[in-house]
Amino acid sequence: MTVSQARPSVAATATVAAAALAATFLLTAGATAAQAAKAARPATPAQAAAAAAAAAAQGATGAAALRPRPQHLTDKQRSKLLDATRRFRDVRQAIEAGYLPTEDCVPGMGLHYAHPQRSADPRIAPEKPEILLYLPGPHGTVRLTGVEYFRADADGDLRTDRDRPNLFGHPFNGPMTGHAVPAGAPPMPVHYDLHVWLYERNPDGELATLNPTITCR
């Protein structure tokens, strides 16, 4: 689909989306609203209109974006990701590496420990996932269950997907509107993502978005 000349440039929209995303993760990690505001740029009327249109289209695309994906990685691909992330089973090493802890548990996904800098970078590096997925346990413990790859949609338009990324040839889900964020945080941008359940079996598939074995108790 041809993008209208009235639409903000892809670069400008992606920059705003990345800034908003960084601010969202800062607030999730406990930063003040003032600190998070410094990470986000104000949206122009055109960008606000684009966001409104994206939200209106969510109902038509949300179900498809969350449909289970039965694809699987090869043994070599899986080993590559395991070697790169195994150390993060010790959550202290994840935090030292820049992943932000959170207590917000999403049913079917768990806790999202996001890396703001990687999440704002449009490049996808298999060995450097943008988000680590943890399952809360007793006495404040957490257990690594998988990783999530994330990229903000360049034009913020749910109707286009020319910049859809992939992991080892597996296309990301999306574009989709942002998920719920803490009160006072800027909205998460339209984005693509892909979950990989490396450390927790998922009966719906290794690359499925939701894992029915993950509950928040």
How many independent structural domains does the chain possess? 1
Residue-wise pLDDT tens digits, 127-180: 999 999 999 999 999 999 999 999 999 999 999 999 999 999 999 999 999 877
* Distance (Å, whole) CA 105 – CA 91: 16
Q: Does some domain include residue 125? A: yes
Residue 205 lies in a domain: no
H helices, E strands: number in the chain = 7, 8
With respect to residue 208, please indicate whether it lies within any of the assigned structural domains.
Answer: no
Closest CA to 85 of 129, 143, 150: 129
% of the chain exceeding 70 in pLDDT: 65
Is residue 217, in this structure, part of any structural domain at all? no
* Residue 5 located in a structural domain: no
Which domain does 115 fall in, by range? 10-196
Residue 204, domain member (yes or no): no
